[in-house]
Amino acid sequence: MNRIAAVNQSANGPRPGRAQIAFSGVTLNLGGKAILENISLDVKPGEFLCIIGASGCGKTTALRLAAGLYQPTSGTVAFDGKPMLAPRRDIAIVFQDYGKALLPWRTASGNVSLALEASGMAASQRAARIDELLKKVGLPNHAGKYPAEMSGGMQQRLQIARCLAQEPKALLMDEPFGALDAMTRQGLQDEVLSLVRASDATVVFVTHDLEEAIYLGDRVIGLLPHPGRIGIELKIDLPRPRDQLTTRENPEFLRLRRELFDFIKASEA
């Protein structure tokens, strides 16, 4: 494993071997309408996969299938080789609407604590773990604040901290930065990259921002709409660690962006 990591020039990145998240022939109908059709997809452990697509193409639905929140109409979704029949505690989901996914009546530390309580951690051990997690996401001085007292970026960090408290093998992120301003968004992109590098988790990241997908991912998948199916798959070989300026100026980055842009245009036509 170490040898491969060295070759990849990144601390983690996709590891060879069995897929951690495996979609095979997944079709999902909701209310008699086909949302996703025949999706087959392997995500390797440690991989950072981004899913893009025009709105309404089923990216979020694909993520919810991976989370076990939906069951496919046909085909299977497997995690570590076992079919996903329900959500798992070691798969964490970061929702886009952080305001709805946090408990407004609990402080920042209370929100992180929710995940620790659910995992059965003894009360005496929680405080130290909460401090550590809040420090990790850059909120060490906001432990006593309620979500309503925090900015959008801080609330999303808090949600990420709660997800990290689950010690997830896989982190599923549904347009997590979609509602944030550009500067906050770039800062959080880099933070997520370093958090992921430190945790070894597999990431599936849904976004409508093409540059964000290329910037973050080891691989980008583009979905075609009505019904959602895989239309393009790009391997991203940009050097890591990524950098907001140099990576985005890299000719390969620009080429990939062009390719995805054309794909989206064609898919909307």
Partner 1 sequence: MNRSVLYWRAASFAVAAGFVALWQLIADQRLVSPVFLPGPDRAWASLVRGFASGDLLDKLLGTLEHMAYGWFVASIAGIALGAMIGSSRTMRSYVAPSLEFLRPLPVSAVIPVAIAMFGLTQSMALFVIAFGAIWPMLLATIHGFAAVEPRLYEVARSLHMSRLAIIFKIALPSASPDILAGMRLSVTVALILSVVCEILAGLDGLGHWVLLSARSFRSADLFAGVILLGVIGYLTALAMSMVERRLLKWRSSGH
What is the binding site for partner 1 (CB under 8 A)? 67-69, 86-89, 91-93, 95, 97, 100-101, 103-106, 114-115, 117-119, 146, 148-149, 166
The helix, strand and coil proportions of the chain, stated in percent and rounded to the nearest 5, come to: 40, 25, 35
**Phi and psi at residue 95, in whole multiples of 5°?**
-85, 155
Crossing angle of helices 152-165 and 108-118, in 10° steps, is 20
CB of 100 to partner 1, least distance (A): 4
CB of 114 to partner 1, least distance (A): 7
Quick one: tokens of 48? 């950072």
Which residue's structure tokens are 């991203």?
236
CB of 207 to partner 1, least distance (A): 19
Closer Cβ to partner 1, 35 or 214, answer by number: 35
Closer Cβ to partner 1, 90 or 252, answer by number: 90
CA angle 237, 242, 247 (to 5 degrees): 75
Closer Cβ to partner 1, 92 or 193, answer by number: 92
Contact (Cβ atoms closer than 8 angstroms) between residue 212 and residue 189: yes
CB of 118 to partner 1, least distance (A): 4
Closer Cβ to partner 1, 97 or 191, answer by number: 97
Closer Cβ to partner 1, 92 or 188, answer by number: 92
By the 10 Å C-beta count (0-12 exposed, 13-18 middle, 19+ buried), 8 is classed as middle
Task: Give how far Cα 145 sits from Cα of 128, 134, 154, 155, 207, Å.
Answer: 17, 12, 11, 10, 29
CB of 172 to partner 1, least distance (A): 9
Closer Cβ to partner 1, 101 or 204, answer by number: 101
As a whole number of angstroms, the longest Cα–Cα distance in the chain is 58
CB of 209 to partner 1, least distance (A): 22
